[in-house]
Amino acid sequence: MPSPSARRYLMCRPTHFDVVYSINPWMDPWADPDKPVDTALAVAQWEQLKETYLGLGHTVELVEPVEGLPDMVFAANGGTVIDGRAIVAKFRNTERTGEEPAYRAWLAGAGFEVRDAEYVNEGEGDYLLAGRWLLAGTGFRTDIRSHAETQEVFGRPVVSLTLVDPRWYHLDTALTVLDGETIAYYPAAFSAGSQAVLRRLFPDAIIATDHDAQVFGLNAASDGYNVILPEAATDFAAALRARGFNPIGLDLTELLKAGGSVKCCTLELRG
């Protein structure tokens, strides 16, 4: 039976959140010339996510938002933290490179052994720990050469997975880890070879529907029992209940305007 475990998360309040450029298919700064994003609403939705984590007994720590970095709310991209060691992100798009020193400083100040990435590496956006495996995405953002680099740092076997649809540009938009043995994923986001690898490693995975994928349902966070996910992912929620998990749906649609949701806002800190 699924069972929860206390988690330690790093988040960043979306004080400066906006959509002023486009670096993925979800971002459309021209959707409303007057105000494409309601920043106050984004903050309110983010606060609900933070309070949900706290209500479940998890620890939430905060990195200070930096003016001029509207995507800094997506803390998952700031790095990967396992066994007290951290690799700080190296972003592909110049619009986000300013986030790197902010996350580096926070992680070092928190006592983690910090290493800068040599190759483009977008943190937990493309690295998800699943039991003994470190699943690693590539295709749109993270350089596949970083997979070997990351394996050397953490000493964990890395499984490379190729994303083929730009709408699911990070691994955490197309796959979620539910516990040490169970994942859910959207097959169409992956190459044929990567689909075969996932079937072999996780034969009992939950397969997401097109609808779930379209509403970013797989951009979820699990503590092993409670699964926080976009409330619109109703098929996924039903599948989770059938497996003994407890889905908790939230509305983060304002943040989805920048191509992010629950997991994007959440960097897990593993000591």
Residue the block writes with tokens 């606060």: 47
The answer to whether 221 touches 262, Cβ cutoff 8 Å, is: yes
DSSP one-letter code for 45:
H
Residue the block writes with tokens 């599948």: 239
Does residue 264 carry a catalytic annotation? yes
- The active-site residue out of 12, 58, 170, 265 is 170
Phi/psi class of residue 72: alpha, beta or left (left: φ > 0; alpha: ψ in -120 to 50)? alpha
Give the pairing type, strands 158-162 and 133-138: parallel
Tell me how far apart the alpha carbons of residues 256 and 109 are, in angstroms, rounded to a whole number: 30
**How is residue 216 written in tokens?**
């970013």
The closest of 153, 263, 138, 179 to 5, measured between CA atoms, is 179
Does residue 170 carry a catalytic annotation? yes
Residue the block writes with tokens 């309070």: 51
- The active-site residue out of 12, 58, 147, 264 is 264
The one-letter amino acid code at 252 reads L
Tell me how far apart the alpha carbons of residues 268 and 231 are, in angstroms, rounded to a whole number: 22
The answer to whether 157 touches 124, Cβ cutoff 8 Å, is: no
Distances from the Cα of 238 to the Cα of 62, 241, 253, angstroms: 32, 5, 20
Q: Which residues are catalytic?
A: 170, 264
